[in-house]
Amino acid sequence: MEITVLIRVYDRIDDLKYNLQIIRDTWKDNNYHVIVVSNGKSKGYDIPSDSLRHIDKLVVLEENAGHRKGNSQLLMEGAKFIPESSQFTLILEADTWVYGDAIISKYAKRLAETPNAVWASADWYDKYYALATDFALIKTDYIRKHPGIFDFELFPECHITNFLRDTNSDFIWITENMPVHVPSYISYKYPYVPNIKEGRFYVFPKSKTVTHHIEFLKDGIEQKKGYFNIVSDTDYFPEAKISAKAWNRFKMRFWIGLTKCFVKRSWYSKKTYKEIEE
């Protein structure tokens, strides 16, 4: 299967370096065309030369549209370079590391078998219909016909579902990357939620994914490498050897799974579509 991987990056250059290595080393089921779009050059965040050999197309934007529009800018520019032969496009944040591509193959097959579904990613909010954008698989033809899918500023996850609704298109949840957040009433430290203000998990052992912002980790990227070894059940990063990986994965799955027992809005109120003010 032909799949384009569209990676966007601003300042997470080290994350990008390891992400590209992981893709080339462990994603073997499909033919991948890797596009990296960067808008950090004006602030000194250049793509290092040792990463270039893992990139099929590098797009460097001289002007940065800013925090609120920057993510949209990267996706819209990168979409211009998706090859005609690409059946699916995976949009990926530079700091989202996934060991192996079994999860990609699974949801590409499901999308192919579901004619009206064009998007697959995790459920982002409990209150609103919203789809994660850090790891999302999309039918490429849909992007070509509807480039406005990436034209957002506020609440991109809600924009996506609103846009799909307005174009009479459907989506599939990637359940292996759910739940993403703990309930908002949890205001104290929770395992595997390093920033309680965001209230989100950064490890997803079922999909062998870690998405940490390294500034939230005491030991930075070295700790992230350790988490990656745990979810992948490998010593992919030999410098971050972890003992008792199975026990650590059990703890991750336990604490993530436990949140399914917490009272949520969706228990007593249906999801709604968020009205986004332009």
pTM, two decimal places? 0.95
How confident is the model at residue 267, as a pLDDT?
84
What are 96-125's pLDDT values in tens digits? Answer: 999 999 999 999 999 999 999 999 999 999
Between CA 60 and CA 48, with CA 202 as vertex, the angle to 5 degrees is 25
How confident is the model at residue 278, as a pLDDT?
62
What is the layout of strands, in order, in the sheet containing 97-98?
97-98, 209-210, 203-204
Residue 32 bridge partners (DSSP): 3
